[in-house]
Amino acid sequence: MKIAFFDSGMGGLSVLHHAMKILPREEFIFFADEDNVPYGTKTPEEVLACVDAAFKFLIGQGVGAIVVACNTATSVAVKKMREKYSLPIIGMEPALKVALDLFPNRKVLVAATAITVTGEKIHRLIKKLRAENLAELRALPRLVEFAERQEFNSSAVEKYLRAELAAYDFEKFSSLVLGCTHFNYFKDTLRKILPPHMKILDGNAGTVNELIRRTNLKSSRAEENFSLEIFYSCRRVTDANELARLEKFFRRLDEMSAIQ
């Protein structure tokens, strides 16, 4: 099956990275809307227009399923895309339920973009899980900018995160949930800042598991034999320098995958 992974930028590579490990024989398309990144600072109307344009292109490529590997796009557009298109559409959901299942009655900090933090979807999830007194939300928009320029573990990144998280008494929290796929590139710096008892959780595995469930694919640990096409806002990426840059993102994700 040809499966598309769609994001505003390079964060969605973290979800694709996980999928390639357990679905090693599929055909993948990765679509990064590099002309319009970041989505988190746009209006919902602007994000919806960007997502709809990307979907039209991807369906024209013959994909059988689309993974919206972007929490912001999921929050704003997935419901409308499911109403408009009939193929399986899998969105992201912050791993808040995972955190609460692991640590009942302990507080959870959810970090995301501003549009996700203020959006209706995350607040519906909190209400559904009866976590109004346990879940706290924090927007970390600059992490998207850092990730896009591959500034993963600089002093500026650490300074930014320490300043943004300084107000929290971490002894009261069980975990940090990464509610933006771009944030997966910064697990080492976050691990340095957070106390050892706090887990760092993301929704990548849950999203890929939902893809498997919705499409009846079979997970496997067989030798990798997948195909991958990459597009930046409808333009196929073939330039050797740009492919080398993308490989650097994948190497970073290999390094971050073991950090919890």
DSSP characters for 143-203?
A: HHHHHHTT--S-HHHHHHHHHHHTT--GGGEEEEEE-SGGGGGGHHHHHHHS-TT-EEEES
Cα–Cα nearest to 87, from 113, 126, 110, 58 = 58
Exactly one of 89, 180, 208, 217 is catalytic; which is it? 180
- pLDDT (0 to 100) of residue 24: 87
**Burial letters 178-196, b for 16+ CB under 10 A, else e:** bbbbbbbbbbbbbbebbee
Query: What is the amino acid identity at position 256?
Result: M
Residue 61 is given by DSSP the state T
Distance of CA 123 to the CA centre of its chain: 18
Is 70 a residue of the active site?
yes
pLDDT band at 220 (very low <50, low <70, confident <90, very high): confident
pLDDT band at 41 (very low <50, low <70, confident <90, very high): confident
Average pLDDT of the chain is 95
- For the ranges 74-83, 215-224, 249-258, the lowest mean pLDDT is seen at 215-224
Residue 218 clears pLDDT 90, i.e. is over it: no
- pLDDT (0 to 100) of residue 260: 82
Residue 90 clears pLDDT 80, i.e. is over it: yes
pLDDT band at 63 (very low <50, low <70, confident <90, very high): very high
> What is the arithmetic mean of pLDDT over 198-206?
96
Cα–Cα nearest to 63, from 227, 204, 223, 222 = 227
Token duo for residue 245 = 């840059």
Domain ranges of the chain: 2-92+204-256, 96-202
CB 250 within 8 Å of CB 56: no
Q: What is the pTM of this model?
A: 0.92
> What is the arithmetic mean of pLDDT over 156-183?
97
CB 193 within 8 Å of CB 161: yes
Token duo for residue 172 = 């009261």
In the structure, how many helices (H) and strands (E) does the chain have?
A: 11, 10
137/255 Cα distance (integer angstroms): 27
Residue 251 clears pLDDT 80, i.e. is over it: yes
> What is the arithmetic mean of pLDDT over 128-138?
97
Let me know if the fold of 2-92+204-256 is the same as that of 96-202. Answer: yes
CATH of domain 2-92+204-256: 3.40.50.1860
Q: Name which residue leads in pLDDT, 41 or 6.
A: 6
- Cα–Cα separations (whole angstroms), residue 238 to 7, 64, 234, 245: 19, 23, 13, 12
CB 177 within 8 Å of CB 111: yes
- For the ranges 20-34, 48-62, 89-103, 214-228, the lowest mean pLDDT is seen at 214-228
148/182 Cα distance (integer angstroms): 8
Exactly one of 19, 70, 109, 135 is catalytic; which is it? 70
- pLDDT (0 to 100) of residue 40: 85
- pLDDT (0 to 100) of residue 226: 82
pLDDT band at 139 (very low <50, low <70, confident <90, very high): very high
% of the chain surpassing 90 pLDDT? 91
The fold for domain 96-202 equals Rossmann fold (3.40.50)
% of the chain surpassing 70 pLDDT? 100
